[in-house]
Structure 1
Amino acid sequence: MLKNLLCVLLFISLSVQSQNTITGVINKKNDLLTRVILYRLKGAKQVYISNSKIDNDQFKLEIPKGAAIGMYRLSFSPSDFGFVDFLFDQEDVSLKFDSLNHLNPVEFLTSEENKTFSNYLLETTIVKQKLDSLQIAFFGLKDKKQDEITIDLYVKTLDYYANIQSQYEEKTAGKLANHFIKANYKYYAPKLFTAPQMYLNSIKQHFFDFINFEDSALKNSIFFVGKAIEYVFYLNVSDDFQVQNGLYKMAINEVMQKVGENDEVKSEILTSLMYALEQYENLNLVGFVIDNFYSKLPATFKDEILIAEMQSKIKLTIGNKAPEITWEENGLQKKLTELNLSGRENYILVFWSTGCSHCLKEIPELYEFIKDNLNVHVIAFALENDELDFNIHTKNFTKWTNILGLEKWENEMAKEYKIIATPTYFILDKDKIILAKPEHFEDVKAYFKN
């Protein structure tokens, strides 16, 4: 998921004289893997650099002269094969990629900096997993002797972790990798916790201890974005939707406080959070991010097109009032918001078309299902090129409000409701608040039967 949550769709082409090269050997065992694409990573952006065909299991890419130092990405095509992130500091990089080795698919053949950083990540990951497992095991121990053994092993492992960190920091002093190694250090308490909540509180309290949001090297990477995603989505979890949203809001507030006045970093993090929340279909929280943080950024760091795109989607989220619909009926102008039929507790708004075979089957079924339900009224919005077929079919739906929407997909109401397929259903309450968005007629039936 993180791979998807960290890739935002902004590609900028660069074309200047080449200087450094990125070469690779691929163990693919699959003819589908045909191309590799090079990007520079900066916050929420992927900046396109170049691409190369994989020929005889090898590739060669050029990095333009004067390209910024920082973190770069090799993305393999098809994308199912994943990607490789590496550090670039004005040196050639050569690597071996084994798509069949899921645990450690990348080996750097040249570039001492990438070799060192790769080894650091591998070694410290193993040590951190051991420290975490000792802490988790300690919660369940009931034997005093086992307690003492676990505590002793934890202290020794913690000391070993500190030594590894110190060695790598010294080894990379003055190099690009040093910025990432320092920022990747994780705080562990000197003593084991006796309760899980105390442990979780400690992780959250010290999560950003070693991260400098003013570090220019980290800005030229996806580091800040990755850490923010991890903090918000993986350290704040609840089975209750309302509680979960409360935790998300609190976590986003905490991240913004840690970032401080660095508007550039704020913009990158908030952009990624909005795209991540959109993937989770939590558009209400996207609105929270826009209203409380993103919209308050200086104009230089805001994307008004992104705001408009997100706000357009937010309008159709469950819990919001349905966008207005207007139509003419018997010479009178009607509005959805003013439709107030006595006794109707719910409304079904359905966008359909006489040219849609699914609609011609489902819409009559919907009529039979609802026609005797005095608590529900259907507003059937037909997307048509002309009124001929509309008049033929709707004469059977006498208990409904039938609306003719000419220009079909180009109809303004269809655009307002983001209609890309028919039939599309919305269930509203008497105040026209969106209660549900069933995907199929069977879901509509299930909603009212329940």
Structure 2
Amino acid sequence: MLKKLLFIIVLISCTVQGQTYVKGTLNPAQNFSWVVLYQLKGAKQLYIKNVTIVNGEFSIDLPENTPKGMYRLMYSQQNGGFIDFIYNNENVTLKFNPENPFETVKFISSDENQLYHKYLIEFASKQQQLDSLQLAFFHLEDKKDRDKIDNLYEISYSAIRAFQTRFEKDSRGKLANNFIKSSNKYYNSTIIETPQEYLNSVKQHFFDFINFKDEELINSTFLSEKVTDYVFYLNGSEDAEVQFALYKNAVDEVMRKTQNVNLQNEILITLLNNFAQIENTVLIDFVIENFYNKLPEEVKNNKMVQEIQERVKLAVGKYAPEITWEEKGIIKKLLGLNTAENYILVFWSTGCSHCLVEIPKLYEFTKDKPTVSVLAFALENDDIEFKKLTLNFPKWTSILGLEKWQNTIARDYQIIATPTYFILDKDKKIIAKPNLFEDVKAFFEN
């Protein structure tokens, strides 16, 4: 009996020691009621567990054999409501202000996170100091002032290099070391004379310290975030053709840096999502045709790519989806019209008070414009009010869309509010998506 009891005690002891956890305190607690734990794996967030927040506190017991890596605590879907942390088989206890998580987080336990977070905060401060000196130098003309800034720059440069060396040494043997080494940033040892030379230097050396073969980085969002910074923040122009060339060259450069096909898949998905956010369908098509389609089938995420393409099917530059309706017994199609130089497609409803204000204004504005044709698609549950009100718009093509929000054409056009406007050219390509009637008016007047 005594042996049995000792065995149970030992077993419980081993189980307790093997169980790790993440505990957190939100201060102030506010009204956040849940937190979800994800593992960050490339461009994906893999769900692990969720728990409730009670009086601003939560505790998550991690499953056995939880792999090491980068994790995310999501407590709000909006406004950056998350905290990222390293897990490497140690308990993690943290405290933070949910309104400003990164700057306020304090890791009470976890050597990995204490070290890495201290590095990120202090390194950002030292970077800002060097960048400020470099920027100030560009605006100075007096030689004495320039020499003073030059000397300060050299002192700050030596400090940041010593700082980086110290943290790389202190983090040896830790998972944080992988991220610290690749977070390093190239700086010229002496101040750079012109802004263009500085920009060229930043772009040329951006990936100097980033190890694209590091499995720990591949299994996190680190590389995808660095690539996003490089493509979207270092390659900008107000000229559309120049912008396209900059983006194209940046994607080419990134793909040259990566040899791992799984990583290429993750990075390309990240880039496609970012191009979708700015509705750059030309770059989406370019990335898919020149890079994504050339990946091995076993690593592709075709479903996600299709979802991205679906999100931008109504972007400016895309052809409007087909609309078919019956008019006096004759079947007509949007893509078959050739009556105008421009078409205004407006989705509205007789039960929408805002529509009842804007639609008459739109009619008055367009009724005497021979080069503009209007298709007014009314989302209704029945045809009673539709028949009455459309008598006021005899020069328009009025189309009845029954089943309102569930109407197949409305769903195809992703209509979630009325009125919704699309302006098309003579080939039915979307050239503008105004928000209000005043925007429609401004488009044609300008």
User: Which of the five TM-score ranges fits, normalised by the shorter chain?
Assistant: 0.7 to 0.9
Q: Which letter does structure 1 place at the counterpart of 2:27?
A: N
Matches of 2:97 and 2:441, distance apart in 1: 50
Superposition pairs for residues 142-153 of structure 1, below 5 Å?
Answer: 142-153=141-152
Compute the displacement of 1:425 (Å). 1.6
**Which residue of 2 is the match for residue 12 of structure 1?**
none
Matches of 2:80 and 2:411, distance apart in 1: 36
Compute the displacement of 1:186 (Å). 0.7
Compute the displacement of 1:254 (Å). 2.0
Q: Which letter does structure 1 place at the counterpart of 2:256?
A: Q
Matches of 2:415 and 2:428, distance apart in 1: 18
Contact 1:18/1:63 (CA < 8 Å) preserved in 2? no
Residues 1:398 and 2:397 aligned together: no
Secondary structure of the residue aligned to 1:50 is strand
Q: Which letter does structure 2 place at the counterpart of 1:354?
A: T
Q: TM-score, normalised by structure 2?
A: 0.87
Secondary structure of the residue aligned to 1:173 is coil
Matches of 1:302 and 1:120, distance apart in 2: 35
Superposition pairs for residues 33-432 of structure 1, below 5 Å?
Answer: 33-77=32-76, 79-80=78-79, 82-99=81-98, 104-259=103-258, 261-341=259-339, 344-432=340-428
Secondary structure of the residue aligned to 1:319 is coil
> Residues 411 and 79 (structure 1 numbering): CA distance in 2 closer, same or farther, change over 3 Å?
closer
Matches of 2:23 and 2:312, distance apart in 1: 44
> Residues 64 and 312 (structure 1 numbering): CA distance in 2 closer, same or farther, change over 3 Å?
same
Compute the displacement of 1:67 (Å). 1.0
Contact 1:21/1:61 (CA < 8 Å) preserved in 2? yes
Matches of 1:111 and 1:356, distance apart in 2: 56
Matches of 2:350 and 2:78, distance apart in 1: 39
**Which residue of 1 is the match for residue 23 of structure 2?**
23
> Residues 392 and 105 (structure 1 numbering): CA distance in 2 closer, same or farther, change over 3 Å?
same
Contact 2:276/2:311 (CA < 8 Å) preserved in 1? no
Matches of 2:319 and 2:328, distance apart in 1: 26
Secondary structure of the residue aligned to 2:109 is coil
Secondary structure of the residue aligned to 1:337 is helix
Contact 2:347/2:418 (CA < 8 Å) preserved in 1? yes
| Deviation larger for 98-107 or 434-443 | 98-107
Contact 2:276/2:312 (CA < 8 Å) preserved in 1? no
| Deviation larger for 49-58 or 166-175 | 49-58
Matches of 1:140 and 1:423, distance apart in 2: 50
Secondary structure of the residue aligned to 2:23 is strand
Aligned residues: 430
Contact 1:172/1:178 (CA < 8 Å) preserved in 2? yes
> Residues 99 and 320 (structure 1 numbering): CA distance in 2 closer, same or farther, change over 3 Å?
closer
**Which residue of 2 is the match for residue 435 of structure 1?**
431
Q: Which has the higher helix share?
A: 2
Q: Which letter does structure 2 place at the counterpart of 1:235?
A: L
> Residues 151 and 308 (structure 1 numbering): CA distance in 2 closer, same or farther, change over 3 Å?
same
**Which residue of 2 is the match for residue 4 of structure 1?**
none
Percent identical: 53
Matches of 1:123 and 1:375, distance apart in 2: 61
> Residues 183 and 321 (structure 1 numbering): CA distance in 2 closer, same or farther, change over 3 Å?
same
Secondary structure of the residue aligned to 1:127 is helix
Matches of 1:112 and 1:425, distance apart in 2: 55
Matches of 2:409 and 2:42, distance apart in 1: 37
Q: Which letter does structure 2 place at the counterpart of 1:365?
A: K
Compute the displacement of 1:383 (Å). 3.0
Compute the displacement of 1:96 (Å). 2.7
Secondary structure of the residue aligned to 1:109 is strand
Secondary structure of the residue aligned to 1:425 is strand
Matches of 1:80 and 1:318, distance apart in 2: 27
Matches of 2:275 and 2:295, distance apart in 1: 19
Compute the displacement of 1:163 (Å). 2.0
> Residues 77 and 362 (structure 1 numbering): CA distance in 2 closer, same or farther, change over 3 Å?
closer
Compute the displacement of 1:283 (Å). 4.3
Q: TM-score, normalised by structure 1?
A: 0.87
Over the aligned positions, Cα root-mean-square deviation in angstroms equals 2.6
Matches of 2:314 and 2:422, distance apart in 1: 9
Q: Deviations over 1:260-294 (max 9, x none)?
A: x3221122222222333333344443343333333
Secondary structure of the residue aligned to 1:395 is helix
Matches of 1:158 and 1:203, distance apart in 2: 15
